[in-house]
Amino acid sequence: MEGNGYDKRMQELHEQLYTDYYNKKNTVSSEFKIIALEGMKLVTGLRQGWGNRAVEAAWNAPDHQMLAAMELNIWNFASSKTEARLAAMSDLIINKEKEGINSFGDFRKLAAKRIDRFNADWLKTEYDTAVSVAQNSAAFARAWEQKDEFPFFQYQTVGDSNVRTSHAALNGKVFNLKDGAARRLWPPNDYGCRCEMIQLPSRVQSSSVTRGKEGIEILGDVFKRGEWNVNRAESKSVFNQKQRYSRITALKSKLENSNYKTYGMPTIAEISKGKTPLKLDTSITPGNVKELFVPAGKTKGGGRFMGFTDYLGRKMILKEKAFKDHTTKVKYTKQNRHQQFGKVGEVLKTPDEVWINPHEKEFNATYLKYYSDATIVVQTTLQNEWLTVETWYQLERNEKSIRKGLEIKRERS
């Protein structure tokens, strides 16, 4: 959702948040919808900045690991921002001068004035940061792949009057990619930073190479003690702890105690009306299902994996062991997991709903696709920095246990 559509929807959500907060009603539904809307905006910027490399890079390229970790980082950042919104409203109901309660109209004006900064100026800066971090992280991943042939990089500014003095002082300086301190200079080095690094071949004279520590000294104490003194590609983060609005301590319990009813969503039975029936390939057996496993690469441990891409372009893997377990073990074949496997790609590409549970170090996503007579679920997780398909099955149990957390995609009929 872009432009006016995004702004209008965000304004609607904030109006509901103001009303519920003032009337002491449960605000979780509004909070989650704001997190989802804002988080997806930033994730869109992240993927835009990464560009074609996110599509073209090999399955075992570090790009996909970085992207997955950075998306988790964005969801936690967006969550912290919404908790900060609640904190910003906490003292606005009481009118300390009149020693009474503000009217809703007065409260709304005060809240909107305070929170307008979250929605306009700050969001634009955060979106631009997500794009810049992605662009430069993709460039770093490429440089690291080619470090044997191009082991040096040169700092380059855009050269106009808006370049910071400290950044201009680095312009043209050459650094060694194997120098850890030098890698911390990899842009962006501040909000709105437009600098970039240019790869250089191995024939660079050692006398022309600047040590990373010297470069850090040039950027000065503000950089050394601030939030930008880190290589975002290596830390796999768009926003670090210093840039968060709050510690998001309440998010985990809110996620655990929320489900589709929190959002006022219809039941699966209601959604499934009018859908087409599920059709499974009954010719697939535990004996021949192995033909469906198409290897896309190997993990560091040497195990093979199959690759999948979801509706947003996220790349994820299914390890061969998990495939074999789900398609040959009796407890799974009794549930027709071997025949359901043919639907995994379809569910990921065209899900009806996607739910996530982002914690500090976890990113669990549940994809659901509805048919008139069944629901197929695919569950994925961020495991050792890989987005991994953990399991798939036909939903038989209580939908409240599956349709829970943060809803980030819904196919509306």
Closest by CA to 382, choosing from 363, 366, 365, 367, is 363
Q: Can you give the pLDDT at residue 203?
A: 84
Residue 369 belongs to what H/E stretch? strand 363-370
Compute the half-sphere exposure of residue 128: CA atoms within 13 Å on the CB side of its CA. Answer: 12
Q: Can you give the pLDDT at residue 383?
A: 73
Q: Where do the domains of the chain lie?
A: 1-143, 146-232, 258-410
Letter string b/e over residues 176-210, b meaning 16 or more CB atoms within 10 A of that residue's CB:
bbebeebbbbbbbbbeebbbbbebbeeebeeeebb
Q: Nearest 10 degrees: CA dihedral of 27, 33, 39, 40?
A: 180
3-state secondary structure of 171: coil
Strand-pair category, 94-95 with 100-101: antiparallel
Q: Tell me, what DSSP letter sits at residue 399?
A: G
Residues of the chain with pLDDT under 70: 1-3, 247-250, 360-361, 412-413
Q: Can you give the pLDDT at residue 342?
A: 96
Q: Can you give the pLDDT at residue 413?
A: 56
Distances (CA, A) of 101 to 94, 98, 247, 311, 401: 5, 8, 29, 48, 40
The alpha carbons of the chain give a radius of gyration, in whole angstroms, of: 24
Query: Which residue reads 């987005």 in tokens?
Result: 387
Beta-bridge mates of residue 174 = 154, 209
Residue type, 291: E
Two tokens, residue 116: 């307008």
Q: Can you give the pLDDT at residue 217?
A: 96
- Distance in angstroms (rounded) separating the CA atoms of residues 130 and 50: 10
- Distance in angstroms (rounded) separating the CA atoms of residues 292 and 342: 8
Q: Can you give the pLDDT at residue 299?
A: 86
